């Protein structure tokens, strides 16, 4: 990071090069954060959705084509348990990502605080 007085000493071309370099550096630091945010928002959970869909379709087929009431009841209980486990796993994954995001933000804040104290000192 450059101070304003140091930037004023550089030519316009040098300032442009420094600006491009710093913008790339900042965007590369933010890329992991964006991925974590995407995961935390749950937009990468298609595998859970597809699994739940297949379970529901399978149980529906069993329910409509089977005449035994005990098998129907057992199928509904098993599907409910499986769908609850899928939801719990999805929630657990999102909580893990939120904790990673919190650690990432704390580390970024500590790094920025350290760089500010180095400049001041």
- The single-letter DSSP state of residue 115 is H
Q: What would you report as the CA-atom Rg of the chain, rounded to the nearest whole angstrom?
A: 26
pLDDT band at 117 (very low <50, low <70, confident <90, very high): low
pLDDT exceeds cutoff 70 at 44: no
pLDDT band at 86 (very low <50, low <70, confident <90, very high): confident
pLDDT exceeds cutoff 80 at 110: no
Report angle CA 101, 106, 112 to the nearest 5 degrees.
125
pLDDT exceeds cutoff 60 at 27: no
pLDDT of residue 119: 60
- The single-letter DSSP state of residue 10 is S
pLDDT exceeds cutoff 60 at 96: yes
pLDDT of residue 37: 75
- Say which residue the tokens 């000192």 belong to: 121
pLDDT exceeds cutoff 80 at 57: yes
Top pLDDT among 84 and 33 is at 84
pLDDT exceeds cutoff 80 at 33: no
The stretch 47-52 carries a mean pLDDT of: 80
Task: Give residue 57's Cα distance to chain centre.
Answer: 29
In this prediction the pTM is 0.55
């Amino acid at each position: 990071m450059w101070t304003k007085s140091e930037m004023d000493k550089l030519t316009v071309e040098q300032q442009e090069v420094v600006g491009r370099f710093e913008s790339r550096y900042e965007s590369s630091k933010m890329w992991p954060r964006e991925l974590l945010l995407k995961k935390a928002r749950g937009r990468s959970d298609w595998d859970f959705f597809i699994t739940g869909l297949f379970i529901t379709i399978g149980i529906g087929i069993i329910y409509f084509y089977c005449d035994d009431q005990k098998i129907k009841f057992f199928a509904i209980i098993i599907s409910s348990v499986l769908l609850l486990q899928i939801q719990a796993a999805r929630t657990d994954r999102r909580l893990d990502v939120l904790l990673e995001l919190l650690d990432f933000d704390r580390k970024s804040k500590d790094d920025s605080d350290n760089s500010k104290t180095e400049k001041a000192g």
